[in-house]
Structure 1
Amino acid sequence: MRPVEVRPAAPADATAISRLLGQAIRDSYSGILTESAVRQLVGTHCSLSRLNAEIGIPGGAPGWLGWLVAEEDSGRLVGAAAGGVLMPGEGELFALGTAPDARRRKIGGMLLAEVTDRLREHGAVRQGISLPSAQDPALPFLTRQGFEGSGTRLTRFI
């Protein structure tokens, strides 16, 4: 297993994040969501202009705490996550994805732990996530991490 470092995203990471998230979305939701819904998710969440703007404003927009990336020692990005605190005490995990060929290496857990630490530092005591589908393939992982709920909305105390 190659070593992985979790760090704040830099502007130069935007293209790699876009590709990684697009690949993760297509791999995770093809067969669960319609092709058009998958395309819409990729278009919304993987837009290079959106990612460039979001990477450029960590801490600069109300509630937004920025993007984190997991990088192998080779320089390849194998995971990305983003979060924020939109209301006092309420943290949100906006995105969490790992490269399909890097799954089951604890990368998602490392990213989630770092986002959670940042949320706590900004006063969050609960963390939520909204999923694209009630049959989301991330449900077993999120449940192991203490998230609970039904349908597409999960929360946990942190």
Structure 2
Amino acid sequence: MVRPAVAADVPRICEICAAGFAASSAGLLPARVVAARTATYYDRERVVAEIGPGPAGWLGYVVAESGDSVVGAAGGSVVDRVGHLLVLYLDLDRRGLGLGTALLDHVSGQHRTSGATHQRVSVTEGNEMALPFYRRHGFEVTGHEPFGAGTDARSLVLERPL
């Protein structure tokens, strides 16, 4: 089941996203960059502030549940009719069970409702935990951009129509 996140979900959102980002970045980004990005984006205060809709088209976090446990989190925004998928992570032992698809479908619905005509996600080049998933869901690489943060890493930009 996917539902809008609530304040009580914040610790699990932070935990899931931090672990997922670390696992998907292993060997692709320096540990210092992973630690800095985790501290910035998955800090409890920040996630509390972003739990619901906010500025810059942010639509709020949604979570996937299994039983009464939060096992995944996602979130996105819509800017200029483009749906940006900014976060999608699962408990690492829950991959392959359809939960990622359920989260993506939910956020895609939010994007459509908010007027998006296509969807975009950026994935660190070489992230084989994410790339096959997005390709299965119709995303195609449309460009590259520097990852930044003082690394030579690049991100792949993937898009699909909604």
The match for 1:9 is 5
What secondary structure sits across from 2:55 in the alignment? coil
- Superposition TM-score, scaled by structure 1 size: 0.89
Give the alignment of 1:6-85 within 5 angstroms.
Answer: 6-55=2-51, 57-58=52-53, 60-73=54-67, 75-85=68-78
Give per-residue Cα distances to partners, 1:67-100, cap 9 Å, x unaligned.
Answer: 0000111x2211100011111x211101000110
2:159 corresponding residue in structure 1: 155
| 2:128 pairs with 1:134 | no
Q: How does 1:95-106 map to 2 (within 5 A)?
A: 95-106=87-98
Q: Aligned-pair RMSD on alpha carbons?
A: 1.2
1:145 to 137, 141, 145: 137
- Residues in 1 aligned to 2:108 and 2:74: alpha-carbon distance in whole angstroms: 11
SS at 1:94 equivalent = strand
Note the alpha carbon deviations across 1:24-59, whole angstroms, 9 max, x for none: 11122112211112112211221111100001x42x
Give the whole-Å Cα distance in 2 for the aligned partners of 1:143 and 1:105.
17
Residues 102-121 of structure 1, C-alpha deviations (whole Å, 9 max, x = no match) = 11111111000000011001
Secondary structure of the corresponding residue to residue 104 of structure 1: coil
Instruction: Map 1:92-131 onto structure 2 (within 5 A).
Output: 92-131=84-123
Task: List structure 1 runs of 4+ shifted beyond 6 angstroms.
Answer: none
Identical aligned pairs, as a percentage?
37
User: What letter corresponds to residue 72 of structure 2 in structure 1?
Assistant: G
Runs of 5+ consecutive residues of structure 1 not aligned to the other structure: none
Q: Secondary structure at the match of 1:114?
A: helix
Relative to the length of structure 2, the TM-score reads: 0.87
Q: Equivalents in 2 of 1:35, 1:62: separation in Å?
A: 29
